[in-house]
Structure formats: structure tokens, C-alpha cells
Structure 1
Amino acid sequence: MKELDLILKNIKNKEVLPIYFFHGDEPYFIDLAVKALENDFLEEDEKAFNQTVVYGKDTSYQEILSLARQFPMMGDKQVIIVKEAQDLKLTEAESNALETYVQNAVPSTVLVFAHKHKKLDSRKKVTKLLEKSGALFLSESVKEHLLPKWIADECLRLQIKTAPNISHLLAEYLGNDLSRIANELNKLKMILKAGEILDGTIVENHIGISKEFNVFELQKALGMKNANAAFKIAHFMGKNPKNNPFVMLLGNLYNYFSNIIIYNTMVGQSPNAIASQMGINPYFLKDYAEASRFYPLKHATRVISILREFDMKGKGLGAVNMDDAELIKEMVYKIINVDKIKMKV
């Protein structure tokens, strides 16, 4: 959420709006803003009288707005926080009531809505009114190709020094669950000694991601057709299915080989144009250039077919009694030997 830093700064300085309506598919940014309003705006002795927290499934807009029109019992402001606001029913009557309040918000009330996992309907009048009044804040997910940068920025904010590729390693294994990533980074911040660099060993010891045996390293081994390394990593990952879910592995490899296909089809164009199409930092383009030598377009396309085949096998179709370890090893064998095996028509 682009405005988040400014919102947090203003809350700290006691400069708040009468309404905050947070909505969108990324709950992490919403939680940060709501937590600041809940914990850092009113003094502790004021909260008992002037802070109310309700949940969408237990109330209605009419009831919330009735609370909002009351005056603080002590102090100048009251805070009303509506968590899980996506569970509120927005009937025509409720929508009309909210529209009326938005146009005449009570200045002594800070009314906060945490509307998670989905956006408000942009076509509705109340949405347009909230936006016009400056009360609507959209929380969007971090795109997959931007996740390593977001992690790197968080490490910088937390003053965590990292070894190369750590942000990519964390992104590959923790996915785009920003709350989980933030929790892991905060734990690591507490563990790290002054001046200590966050490297693969520390990540492996405290998060459970192996610095040697992970999908990031498997991609590199496959990309270079390093069979020994690829089979070694596949063997380890197969022994640890909990830390290496087969579905996640397939997804990462699908993205990787899809990018190799894009590289093959765009050779000769500017590096920035290719990197933009692939959704990666141009710095990593050299890795795909090297991999494309081993996987020309014909072979990279075959790999996609192999991954689809193993997606079906992972769902139990055509792979009777094969566990994840066997599936991973067979899949790696076929990818490494994609130029030699005959594909089914």
C-alpha cells in the first residue's frame, strides 16, 4: 500500500482522518495500519473509554455509524475499529447510511474499516464517495517478480545485512504470505548478532530452508544441466516433502522454464524489454541466457509438457503408488534428458 508509510507517520504524530477504509486482497498492509491506529493513537488510559473494536459478522453498518456519532467520554477523540469488515452486509439501506456518514463524518471520531481479501465495488456510489473524501486505501498484493525486492527492502528497513540471493531464496520458499515473511524476518533480526550477515546457513538453521537443497538451487542445476547436482538436490527435497511441497516445486519450475521460452523468443531485443516481459530484474538475465543454450525453444517447450505430465501424476493420475520423492526424481531425470527422450503425441 503506497500510502502506508505516510499513514503510520501521521498516526505517530496524532494527525488522523475521520474515516479510514482499508480494502484489498493483501491483509498484511491493512493489519499494519489498523494495528497502529489501535495501539499507537490513544493513550492507554483513554482506550478503556474511547476505543471500541467490533467484528463485521457481529454487527451492521447502521450500528457502527450509531457508535460513530457518539462523542468521546474522555479526551478529544474516540476510535472505532471494524475488523473483518468484508463480512458486513452492504444492503441499499446500509449503503445509503454509509454515504450519508461519509459526507458528514463526526470529527471527534476516527472510524476504521479493515475490509480484507477483496476490494469494494468501484461502481458503487459509496466507494466513489470514500475515494473522493480521501478515506479509501487499497492494499494490493506484491507481484511475484517484485517479492524479492520487497523482502530486500524489509531487510534494509530492519537493518539486516544479507548475503546475495537470500531475498530470492526466501521468496521462493515462503511465497507471497507477507505476514509470514515479516514474522520470519523479525525473528531473524532478534537472532542475528551485531554486524552478522544473514546467509544460507542461518536461514537453514532457523527457518528450515536448506541453503544447498532448495528449488532455487535446483533451478540453477537444471538450467546448467548439472545432472549430479540436480539429482542430489532432488533426493534431498524428496526426503523432506513438508519443507518442499511438490505443488510449489512444480509452480516454480513452470515459471522458470516459461521464462526460458520467453528469452528464446525475444533474443535480439533489448535486455530491459526481455526482463520486463519475464518479470525479473535485468541482473538475472544472464542466467536465462546461459540456460537457453541448454534449452532451446523446442526443448524448453518440451519441459513445460513434462511439468504438466507430473502435475497430473502428483494428483494421482497415471502414477499409482508413487510418492513425492519418486515423482521429483523421475521429473528431474526427464528434464535433464529432455533432448533424448521421445515425447508422447
Structure 2
Amino acid sequence: MNLQEINSVISKIKNKVFSPIYFLMGEETYYIDYITELIDNEVLSDDEKNFNKTILYGKDSSVEDLISCCKRYPMMSKYQVVILKEGQDLSRKIENLSNYVLNPLMSTILIVNYKYKTLDKRKKLYKNVQKFGVVIECKKIYEDRIPQWIFNQLKNDNFLIDPKACSMLVDYLGNDLKKINNQLNKLKIICSNSKSITPDLIEENIGISKDFNVFELRKAIGEKNLNKALVICDYLSSNNNKHPLQMTLSSLFNYFIQIFQYHSMENKSPSNVSSILGVSPFFVKDYINASLNYSMKDISKIISLIKDFDLKSKGLGVSNTSNNDLLRQLLIQIIY
């Protein structure tokens, strides 16, 4: 299920259009937790929750326990909510739920959290939930799609974010939606009057330097500015806990893949480049400039270099070399 479909389910829940079963599965736990909490809050009032909300845990329960709870009727409420957390711990027996799904009690709303795993789509349970309820497979969002996700999250609450500020967050937090959402909530409180998130605001309140970060490192590499790249390298290495070398290498790898993609495009209009690379139109010119400095042949060699240095950073084929020295060596070889 893609983000558009997930947002459609969320919209229905907010409009009080409920299904008897929600099976939430997959790697992206942010949406599993968010939808569970949303249903919990939209279906029952605080008073109704006292008698009509049941939480079970997979490691401490059986499918039979779950079905028994689902077959109870609500007390002084239209619905009862039954939440199975850690449902993946019942993976060997979860198919036994398929018969209940065929004939669910319509006054029960069952939410199954099935984190880091997915149902076998060939079997009855998956097909039955698809037919009589809602099944959502929450997949990790690729990092190049995170800026648009951040923009949309903020837009929903009438906030704006500077493109550079957005890139700072992505470079620092990766594609961990929970961490990103927590930081966005913090920033929204801080700038509740201006409704605008800037690089300065992030630097002051989250501790990410607006001048010395992976985003600025990539920009310096794209410009073949070795001096600037080495200064940023030293800063990142001095803050290794916040900027692990493997994360930096991963970011550089993705950056050169994007430049390679740009070279391969027939339609190089800013809007098309922005869409395919998953970057703000504001940054398209940076990729155009980088493509002038690095040919496809150059990029192929650089990608191979980054892979080699990733192995070295894990202790393979090198000894007694600091992360700072490794990154410096890599930057020199890339730019020269």
C-alpha cells in the first residue's frame, strides 16, 4: 500500500468511517503506531475506553484469546476496540484468525500490529482481511522521498520549511519517520507564530550545524571544492556519534547515484529532475552543476571507491586508520 492509499485510510478514520479489522504490518512502524493511536482516539471517548478497550500482546496471548475478546459486546458504547500488539509473535498461529475475519462482530474494531513481518498473501487470512477489513503493508520510505514527506506533514498543519532546512533534517535523521516526526513536532511548537522552519531554527534547537553537515559536504564535492570538503570532514569526524562514517558514506553513495540518474535522463526539465531524483526544485541546479564536474565514467569509479571505503570503515583490508583519515582519503580521490 502506497502513501496515498495510507492517507486515504487515515482520512476515512478521521471521518468516523471504520472497518471491523485493521491489519497493520511491515517495516515502517511509524504508520502502524500512528493508525493504531488514531483509531483508538477516534472510536472511543476517554470514559468509553474504561470498559471497551482491550490490549493484548502476542507473546502473552493466543489467537483464541484474541477471538474471544473480539466476540464480546461493547458496554454503553457503539463499539469496543481490541488491539493486538506484537502480533508478529503469533506468526505461527495467526492464520487461525481467518475464520473470525469472515464473519467479524461489527461492534468490534480489531487492530493487529504485525511489525517487521508481513502476511503470506497467498493464504486465507490476507485474502479475507482484504475482503472484509483493511490490510496495510507499511514499507520503509526511500530516503530520496523523505523531503516530500516532511513537506506534506508540515503543510497539513500550515507550516513551511526551507529546502535547506529540510535537507539538514534528512541528512541527520535518515528515513526514520518516528524520529523525524518527533523533531517536527518540537519545531512546530517553537515556531508556532512564524509557521516557518529555517536552517537557523534547526541549528539552534536540534543541534545540527547549518554549515557543517552531510548536505554541505555533498555540495562541496559537487563543486569540487576540496578545501571546504576537508573542513566539513574534520567537523563530522569530531562528532562521530552524530555523524557515523557509514551513514556519511551511504549519503555520498546515494548522491552519486542521483547524479548518474541525471546524466541518464532524456527530459532534464527542472520539474522532471525534481520528481525523479526526489529533491526540491531549489536544489536541481546543484545536480546540474555536479553533472558538469563528474561524467558517468567518473561516477562509476567513484561508486566503486565508496564501496571499497565502506569495507575499510568496517575493518576489512586496513588497520589503524581513523575514520577521519579514511574520509579524507576518499574525498581527495573523489575530487582529484
| TM-score, reference length from structure 1 | 0.88
Tell me by how many angstroms 1:277 deviates. 9.8
1:242-268 Cα shifts (integer Å, max 9, x gaps): 11110011011111122333334x26x
Structure 2: which amino acid aligns with 1:125? K
- DSSP-derived class of the 1:39 partner: helix
Q: Residue in 2 aligned with 1:340? A: none
**Aligned counterparts, 1:45-60, within 5 A:** 45-60=47-62
In 2, Cα distance between equivalents of 1:69 and 1:90: 22
Pair member with larger Rg: 1
In 1, Cα distance between equivalents of 2:258 and 2:49: 53
**Aligned counterparts, 1:60-99, within 5 A:** 60-91=62-93, 95=95, 97-99=96-98
Q: Residue in 1 aligned with 2:190? A: 191
Q: Residue in 2 aligned with 1:139? A: 138
**Aligned counterparts, 1:169-248, within 5 A:** 169-195=168-194, 197-248=196-247
Structure 2: which amino acid aligns with 1:16? F
Moved more, 243-252 or 297-306: 297-306
1:202-245 Cα shifts (integer Å, max 9, x gaps): 21222222111111111111111112211111111111111111
Q: Residue in 2 aligned with 1:259? A: 258
8 Å Cα contact 1:34-1:112 kept in structure 2 = yes
Shift of the 285–195 alpha-carbon distance from structure 1 to 2, 3 Å rule, reads closer
In 1, Cα distance between equivalents of 2:200 and 2:15: 41
Unmatched segments (≥5 aa) in structure 2: none
Q: Residue in 2 aligned with 1:34? A: 36
Q: Residue in 1 aligned with 2:27? A: 25
Structure 1: which amino acid aligns with 2:267? S
8 Å Cα contact 1:12-1:41 kept in structure 2 = no
1:171-229 Cα shifts (integer Å, max 9, x gaps): 12211110110000001111125116322122122222211111111111111111221
- DSSP-derived class of the 2:111 partner: strand
Q: Residue in 2 aligned with 1:270? A: 267
Shift of the 175–15 alpha-carbon distance from structure 1 to 2, 3 Å rule, reads same
- DSSP-derived class of the 1:22 partner: strand
- DSSP-derived class of the 1:123 partner: coil
- DSSP-derived class of the 1:242 partner: coil
Q: Residue in 1 aligned with 2:108? A: 109
1:280 aligns with 2:278: yes
Q: Residue in 2 aligned with 1:290? A: 289
In 2, Cα distance between equivalents of 1:196 and 1:99: 47
1:249 aligns with 2:233: no
In 2, Cα distance between equivalents of 1:76 and 1:305: 61
- DSSP-derived class of the 2:183 partner: helix
Q: CA RMSD in A?
A: 2.3
In 2, Cα distance between equivalents of 1:306 and 1:69: 60
Structure 2: which amino acid aligns with 1:81? I
Q: Residue in 2 aligned with 1:328? A: 327
Tell me by how many angstroms 1:336 deviates. 1.6
Q: Residue in 2 aligned with 1:44? A: 46
Moved more, 80-89 or 157-166: 157-166
Shift of the 282–177 alpha-carbon distance from structure 1 to 2, 3 Å rule, reads closer
Tell me by how many angstroms 1:52 deviates. 0.5
In 2, Cα distance between equivalents of 1:121 and 1:297: 41
In 1, Cα distance between equivalents of 2:296 and 2:112: 50
In 1, Cα distance between equivalents of 2:6 and 2:272: 32
In 1, Cα distance between equivalents of 2:217 and 2:61: 50
Tell me by how many angstroms 1:123 deviates. 0.6
Give the total of aligned pairs. Answer: 332
1:31-76 Cα shifts (integer Å, max 9, x gaps): 1110022233212222121110011111121110011112223333
1:62-102 Cα shifts (integer Å, max 9, x gaps): 110011112223333211111111111343xx52x422211
Tell me by how many angstroms 1:149 deviates. 0.4
Unmatched segments (≥5 aa) in structure 1: 338-345
Moved more, 144-153 or 1-10: 1-10
In 2, Cα distance between equivalents of 1:9 and 1:280: 25
- DSSP-derived class of the 1:142 partner: coil
In 2, Cα distance between equivalents of 1:98 and 1:314: 47
8 Å Cα contact 2:43-2:79 kept in structure 1 = no
